[in-house]
Amino acid sequence: AYDSSVADAQASKAKRDYFIRIMVAVIASMNIMMLSVAKYTGFFTGISEEVKNMIHIGEFLLSTPVLFYSGWIFFKGGYYGLKNRMVNMDFLVASGSTLTYIYSMFILFGAKGESYFDSVAMIITFVLVGKYLEVIGKKSAVDTLDKIKSSLPLEAVVIENDTKKTVALNSIKLGDIIEIKAGEKVPVDGKITKGEGFFDESTLTGESIPVYKKITDLVFSGTINSNALIEYEVTKDFKNSTFSSIVTLLEDSLNSKPKIQTKAAEISKYFTVTILSLALSTFLVWYFFGIDLGFDYNGTTQFERSFIVAVSVIVIACPCALALATPMASLVGISELAKKGLLFKEAKFIESLAVANTVVFDKTGTLTKGELNVAKMKILDENIHKLNLLYSILCASTHPVSRSIKKYLEEKYDLIEKKLDNVKNIEAKGMSANYTNVDGKNFELLGGNLDLLKQNEIYYKFDSNKTVYLFAINKRVVATFELEDEIKDNAKELVEFLQNKNIEVVMLTGDNENVASNIASQIGIKKYFAFQTPISKANYIKELKKENKTVVMVGDGVNDSVALSNADVAIAMGNSADVSLAISDVVLLNSSLNSLKDAFVISSKTFKFIKQNLAISLIYNSVTIPLAMAGLVIPLFAALSMSLSSLIVVLNSLRIKMK
């Protein structure tokens, strides 16, 4: 089971440890580079042996803590990799930097040549930064799980033999009777045995309209009892309740590695084995057959020259250009995306977005504004006194439909709230009340849906696929309203853009079939599913991924968090719930769907440059590694060549801004 205290402590310790190691590496590397400027300048313009030795000593003192303290992570990772019969990138970094360090030590203690302590420090520092970002991501994931779990109460009131007692959630058993007051959250799933009222299920469904529940209806953990004292029988313990299941699914998906990361690890494994094999082969050939093959040793011993050439192979192949290929282009792309109001939490999601073939949208708050608005009003009797009565019954209700109409009327009329009698809330249908004027005349008021009117023998023909509210006085309808969740600007244009790119667009919503159908038809979405729960949304995305589809999920609520975490790219709107923002890979800071379109355009462009950068780095390796193996590149030029290839990748990435 997920233990938030243990997980948080481990994540915080790892983050703190990495931060200290990375600060040591960065500070030492900056000072080493200052010394290296003098050394490299002296190589071309001339430098005395005494000054060179002083530089070597300084670099040695600075690079030693970088290698053995900051770089300890790579030694440890390489060791565990070998223990599990796997040669990973940690092993290449550790072996390459250690061999370069050992060679530089020979130079420090009198051998001829140049030391490469600077290369040792830069290799360790560069790769360590990437690992630190990964640790930060894991800490963020732990914080997200804690945030979700903390939204549930720690205790519940259990009724046993007419006695109430407070118990911990883990102690609640099947069959226990739980009491929840108005405004409290449901701790575990159950079936109502006493009372009735509205429940806010927005945390699960994303829909803002409360759901009416009565005796025998099911209530779900994480939902809020809006307005009444309720008693219910526990049908699922805490571990198996809806909200706890969501947390478990979320934890599983956070701990799973994306496909792209697994492939990268696989490539790096083969790359590492290949480079180490080539370096070893080079050493053996030079040591045992160098003279016979006519190689020039330039006054060095056979071992020294063989060692120098092998180190050159490792240094020149140290995958800086390969490692920079994706992040540099992505970094430039990310800066361009930020200008459009898009925050990418990790560079790798640009790649996934560029190759996506399916985009799944939540409806409420994503494609729509998440607020009910009056789409159409029909006043059959504009008598101001009757409108005042309508306004008064709306004021007596806290239902979202009533609040929306009330706000709409306040903008159009100058109305006065009257004192009503016998105000009653009627089973998810509306409200009734009475009003007596100064002359003693009584008026029967009804406000609600068609079912409420039929229940009171008022038969009014009204067809609409929207949310409907009717107001009647003395069994005569005097006003009708049609409400809908307003579609966001550019929603239709975005859907058309994605479909033109051969990307399948799907809408998932917790709303009913009529509303879902209406919104989908207006926006141009052909595939949609209504009555979706958080778990069914997540399962749908899992099924898509089983079909080897690259899935982008766009959502805004806590109810979307599990689905978001299962997608290849999770995109949250800027006005999303905190949990959705924490779990997402991309955040639309301005909540504009036009920015989402920009995300696809810029990501595709960036991905093109990523592929160009990879091609550059592969061409570089295929040309320079054979030269190094032939002894034509000394370690100094190997380090400079590695830096040059990285510079070319950086300059190519900057071209993204020019396009």
Q: Are 142 and 207 in contact (CB under 8 A)?
A: no
Give one DSSP letter per residue of 362-392, joined into a string: EIIIIIEEEEEEEEEEEES---HHHHHHHHH
With CA atoms as reference, report the closest residue to 529 among 520, 483, 242, 571: 520
- How far apart CA 284 and CA 287 sit, in angstroms, is 5
Question: Crossing angle of helices 384-395/400-412, nearest 10°?
Answer: 140
Contact 460, 453 (CB under 8 A): yes
DSSP letters spanning 426-465: ETTTEEEEEEE-TT--EEEEEEE-HHHHHHTT-------S
Q: Give the whole-angstrom CA distance, residue 620 versus residue 276.
A: 17
Contact 559, 203 (CB under 8 A): yes
Helix axis angle for 320-339 and 593-629, nearest 10°, is 160
SS3 of residue 510 by DSSP: coil
d(CA 60, CA 476): 94
CA-to-CA distance for 147 and 149, rounded, in angstroms? 6
User: Beta 569-573 vs 586-588: how paired, if at all?
Assistant: parallel
Tokens representing 114? 């140049």
What residue has token string 């001829």?
A: 112
Identity of the amino acid at 483:
L
**Neighbour count for residue 398 (Cβ, 10 Å):** 12
- Compute the half-sphere exposure of residue 611: CA atoms within 13 Å on the CB side of its CA: 8
What is the three-class DSSP state of 114?
coil
Let me know if 362 is a catalytic residue: yes
Contact indicator for 436, 405 with CB cutoff of 8 Å: no
Other Cβ atoms within 10 Å of 265 Cβ, number: 13
List 90, 118, 200, 362, catalytic entry: 362
Q: Is 193 helix (H, G, I), strand (E, B) or coil?
A: strand
**236 contacts: CB under 8 Å, gap ≥ 6:** 174, 188, 189, 190, 221, 242
Kindly write down the DSSP assignment for every residue of 7-60, as one continuous string: HHHHHHHHHHHHHHHHHHHHHHHHHHHHHHHHHHHHHHH---HHHHHHHHHHHH
Q: 513-523 and 491-500 helices cross at what angle (nearest 10)? A: 70
Which letter does DSSP use for residue 350 in this model? H
Beginning with the edge strand found earlier in the chain, give each strand of the sheet holding 224-225 in spatial order: 211-213, 197-200, 224-225
Q: Can you tell me which residue has the tokens 């490469």?
A: 116
* The two structure tokens encoding residue 390: 């309508």
Question: Which position has the token pair 């141009």?
Answer: 524
Question: Is the CB of residue 304 less than 8 Å from the CB of residue 631?
Answer: no
Residue labelled with tokens 């009330």: 406
Residues taking part in catalysis: 362
